[in-house]
A and B are shown apart, each in its own frame.
Chain A
Amino acid sequence: MDKRLAIVAALAALLAAGPALAQIAAYEIVEGAIPQPLTDSPGNPARGRQIVRDLDKATCLICHPMPIPEEPNHGQIGPSLTGVGARYTPGELRLRLVDPKALNPDTVMPSYHRGEDLYRVLDRFENKPIYSAQEVEDVVAYLASLDRQ
């Protein structure tokens, strides 16, 4: 093959496979948990508290009561997240965020760090996880801090 063509072909392949691969961190599920953090920089709980309120990121408040009194209208679809840090380890919280369907295939809870195997996603969200790997870590740190009833 012509060298230039070969480069173009390689680039095209990279672009085609690129978005999903680039944005979804690799992880391993061990006994109902993802024990290893998805990134090298530790999660920031204050940032996590901001992220879970973000309307553009499918706020958890759609479905969960949370200890965030300044926000109105907490949903009632899922259990209250008050004290959730005492009920689960960070690794268990990480899996519940990244892909709760691994625990309960029938769950109503969305997977916040998954881009593939989804059906008819709106163009602008295609191949984009709701949370980046770092956002997952920030939210895990926030949830882990909710260790009191």
Chain B
Amino acid sequence: MSGSRIAVIAAAGAFSAAAAFGADEIASYEVEGRRSGFLYMTEETRALQEDAFLNPGMFAVEEGEALWNLVEGDEGESCASCHEDAAETMRGVAARYPVFDEKRGGLVNLELRINEMRTSYMGAEPYPYESDELLALTTYVANQSRGVPMAVEIDGPAAPFFEQGRTFYETRRGQLDLACGHCHDRHPGDMLRGDVLSEGHVNGFPIFRMLWSSMGSRHRMFEWCNTSLRAEPYPLGSEEYLALELYVAWRGRGLPIETPAVRR
């Protein structure tokens, strides 16, 4: 891994990585009193996130860029052959997701949209949820929206899903019998054992989480919080987590996309 990293930096990578972290791309980590998880991290972790050369999530961005350009499937297409320069065509997309999708009659998030591109347009197999490939491509696409404020649509056909997500968020569950807000609304900034609780926002995802030593999606985080409460989780990509994702993205409205964030 570190070998290819060095190679990329030695080649053209140095310039593009620096460009992805333009100094003023993230104007503020706090919007109308809502504070990104970034502000609950230590100085060291923040510095790691903001340094494009040290941020371990940049491996995923680079891997995602390679997948973006890779021709796969029966149609002989790559993402790039239709969407060309991601910096232009994907800018702002991640900030709007998840969205209501007419064809499905339900919500779709960035991961599922990318997989749909593979199955419907490329004649390729979908990536398994939480596979390195899907995480990398999602990270690459979301990274194009760095600094763009999250703004999901919650009216119209999305409204019932939004309400379903709100109910999920507010429902006590598991042997510990806690709802999301018991930790993330009432106790941000307080220590939960060795962790400083944050407000539980999703603007940094996919994140590099040190505890996992890997990238993780929004749904993996929901699964982790659920099982920490000794509650039965839902499958990643499930309708329940999509609804929760919509509600949680709205809760963090205005916060800038900061993918790939680094978290403890």
Known: A120-B232, A122-B227, A122-B230. A73 touches B193 (CB 8 A): yes
Contact call A72/B194, Cβ cutoff below 8 A? yes
Chain B residues 185 to 206 lying within 8 A of chain A, measured CB to CB, are 186-187, 190-194
A-B contact pairs, 18 of them (CB 8 A): A58-B230, A72-B194, A74-B191, A77-B183, A77-B191, A108-B182, A108-B183, A108-B187, A110-B176, A111-B177, A118-B174, A118-B177, A120-B232, A121-B174, A122-B230, A122-B231, A123-B232, A125-B175
CB-CB < 8 A to A62: which residues of B? Answer: 192-193
Question: Most chain-A CB neighbours within 10 Å: which of B173, B176, B178?
Answer: B176
Residues on B facing A (Cβ under 8 Å): 171-178, 182-183, 186-187, 190-194, 227, 230-232
Contact call A108/B173, Cβ cutoff below 8 A? no
Known: A62-B192, A74-B191, A75-B192. A130 touches B175 (CB 8 A): yes
| Cα distance A108–B192 in the bound complex, in angstroms | 12
| Cα distance A125–B175 in the bound complex, in angstroms | 7
Please give the number of chain A residues whose Cβ is less than 8 angstroms from any Cβ of chain B in the complex.
24
In the complex, A20 has a CB within 8 A of chain B: no
Contact call B190/A120, Cβ cutoff below 8 A? no
A109 → chain B, closest Cβ, in Å?
10
B115 → chain A, closest Cβ, in Å?
27
CB-CB < 8 A to B230: which residues of A? Answer: 58, 121-122, 125
Chain A residues 85 to 111 lying within 8 A of chain B, measured CB to CB, are 101, 108, 110-111
